[in-house]
A and B are shown apart, each in its own frame.
Chain A
Amino acid sequence: MTDLLRQAWTVARKDLLLEFRTRTALVSALVFTALVLTVFNFGRDPTAVATIDLAPTILWVTFTFAAMLALNRAFQLELENQALEGLLVSPLSRTSLYWGKLLANLVFVALVEAVGLPLFVLFFDVPVGRVLLPLVGVIALATIGFVAVGTLFSALVIRTRFAELLLVVLLLPFLVPPLIGAVQVTARLLGGRPLSEAAGWFRLLAAYDIGFVALATLLFPFTVDE
């Protein structure tokens, strides 16, 4: 097990090192997030609908779009560097490869969310202070869910035309449970409702995460092995 994790970390570290060398994907995702939040701001009428009602949806739509931008880079980068074959020839287990990519994607999306959340609070003046911890918790849970599926699917689309577009189309139905759960919990948190009301959604998110990380780990070898 530790071997698996160590190898996964080797892969993830390499990915993150590469990403920080070039920085294009990260910067694009951050700029994109800021832009989307800005556009949302001008697209609403604060007198008609209270910010607090729209806020969770705005936050999560922004996060999901930014995440989807990030997902394709994972295997695209291997293809571009002609390294995928090398990874498969090496003793690297397929599970470690998937977990490594998943980890790198999670760090990437987490960075975008870490910048996006304060921006969101700033632009929309939402009170997150008291609920910061559970809010971060639900952000983490939902993110793991859709990044897990997204990482798997990104391996399916690498050699297709319009890979980014196809990835989004394939992924959207899978985003719905974590998205609904995240929005519902966020809405309750921001509305000052007791945590116990959101218990069902938390359970759904956790079940989704466990289920799909396990399934993706199981299925990933079929995407790279002949």
Chain B
Amino acid sequence: MSLAQTGRRITLLGLVLLAGVYVRALAFTPLERFQGPAQKIFYLHVPAAWSAMLAMGLVGLCSILYLIVKDARFDRFAAASAEVGTTFSLVMLTTGPIWAKPIWGTWWTWDARLTLTLFLFFLFIGYLLLRGAVVEPGLRARYSAVLGICGLVLLPFIHLSVYLFRTLHPQPIVLKPSAPSLPGSMLVTLLVSFAVFTLLYVGFVTQRYAVGLLREAQGKEHA
């Protein structure tokens, strides 16, 4: 079975399971006491952010591996991961405000997760822009790898900055987006959602990688 087909099947499976998560979240998971039905987007919102982070981590890892071994496959994977990461970040950044408005009364908050995802988004966009701007494949791979590694190292600093910022600026919001301990069935839904999003990540990246291979074979510049 070709790579693209494998990718398609995994993605399809992921989407089906995602629908399953939806159903479970909406119908079979209890309502959160304070936030009501709108809280349920949390089951999509959090794993999407996680997938974006995973995507960035893999971009960084593949970048390091590429610089060490100079194997073009790592570069291709990094590019695919970056594109998928951009999509997941975008999903998170659009669902975030949709959730925030009814719960917190405002479209945007500078809470840790949203802020981090926003930066992830900017990092991904920068990465893709750089790839678009450098034509020669060898150069492009090396330059992207450098940027990818820097992006990965930046993440903990952003996290620290946001954390420091927030501890010194108490948020006016009393409700926290995620309670440290969730009752059983909520936890299950959340974990299942994590797994599904990871599956989706794998599916999307596989497909994107396959497309990249195809494009290279056809001699197109941007793999």
Whether A and B touch (Cβ < 8 Å) is answered with yes
Binding site for B on A (CB under 8 A): 149, 152-153, 156-157, 159-162, 166, 169-170, 172-174, 176-177, 180-181, 184, 200-201, 204, 207-208, 211-212, 215-216, 219, 222-223, 226
* Top 9 A-B pairs, shortest CB-CB distance: A160-B133, A177-B157, A170-B126, A177-B161, A173-B122, A156-B143, A180-B161, A219-B146, A173-B119
Excluding A169-B126, A177-B161, A222-B67, 16 further A-B contacts by CB distance (< 8 Å) are A149-B150, A156-B130, A156-B146, A159-B134, A166-B129, A170-B129, A172-B122, A173-B126, A173-B154, A176-B119, A177-B158, A180-B165, A211-B153, A215-B149, A215-B153, A222-B145
Asked if B138 is an interface residue, CB under 8 A from chain A, the answer is yes
Task: Give Cα distance in the complex from A156 to B146, angstroms.
Answer: 9
CB pairs A–B below 8 angstroms (9 shown): A156-B143, A161-B133, A162-B133, A173-B126, A174-B154, A184-B164, A204-B157, A204-B161, A212-B150
CB nearest to B66 among chain A residues: A222
Asked if B19 is an interface residue, CB under 8 A from chain A, the answer is no
Residues on B with beta carbons closer than 8 Å to the beta carbon of A149 = 150
CB nearest to B124 among chain A residues: A173
CB nearest to B122 among chain A residues: A173
Asked if B147 is an interface residue, CB under 8 A from chain A, the answer is yes
A223 contacts B146, C-beta separation under 8 Å: yes
Task: Give Cα distance in the complex from A157 to B130, angstroms.
Answer: 8
Q: What's the minimum C-beta distance from B216 to chain A, rounded to whole angstroms?
A: 20
Task: Give Cα distance in the complex from A219 to B142, angstroms.
Answer: 10
Q: What's the minimum C-beta distance from A40 to chain B, rounded to whole angstroms?
A: 23
CB nearest to A160 among chain B residues: B133
Binding site for A on B (CB under 8 A): 67, 119, 122-123, 125-126, 129-130, 133-134, 138-139, 142-143, 145-147, 149-151, 153-154, 157-158, 160-161, 164-165, 168
Q: What's the minimum C-beta distance from B143 to chain A, rounded to whole angstroms?
A: 5
B147 contacts A201, C-beta separation under 8 Å: no
Q: A156-B143, A201-B164 are in contact. Are A226 and B138 (CB under 8 A)?
A: yes
B147 contacts A170, C-beta separation under 8 Å: yes
Q: What's the minimum C-beta distance from A211 to chain B, rounded to whole angstroms?
A: 7
Interface centre among B133, B142, B153 (most CB of A within 10 A): B133
CB nearest to A163 among chain B residues: B133
Task: Give Cα distance in the complex from A173 to B125, angstroms.
Answer: 11
Q: What's the minimum C-beta distance from B119 to chain A, rounded to whole angstroms?
A: 5
CB nearest to B145 among chain A residues: A222
Residues on A with beta carbons closer than 8 Å to the beta carbon of B139 = 159
CB nearest to B67 among chain A residues: A222
A200 contacts B146, C-beta separation under 8 Å: no
B146 contacts A208, C-beta separation under 8 Å: no
Task: Give Cα distance in the complex from A161 to B132, angstroms.
Answer: 10
Task: Give Cα distance in the complex from A216 to B149, angstroms.
Answer: 10
CB nearest to A216 among chain B residues: B150
B146 contacts A157, C-beta separation under 8 Å: no
Which of B129, B134, B146 sits near A169, CB closer than 8 Å?
B129
CB nearest to A218 among chain B residues: B149
A223 contacts B142, C-beta separation under 8 Å: yes
Residues on B with beta carbons closer than 8 Å to the beta carbon of A208 = 157
Residues on A with beta carbons closer than 8 Å to the beta carbon of B138 = 226
Q: What's the minimum C-beta distance from B26 to chain A, rounded to whole angstroms?
A: 36
Task: Give Cα distance in the complex from A226 to B142, angstroms.
Answer: 9
A211 contacts B150, C-beta separation under 8 Å: no
Task: Give Cα distance in the complex from A152 to B149, angstroms.
Answer: 12
CB nearest to A149 among chain B residues: B150
Residues on A with beta carbons closer than 8 Å to the beta carbon of B151 = 173
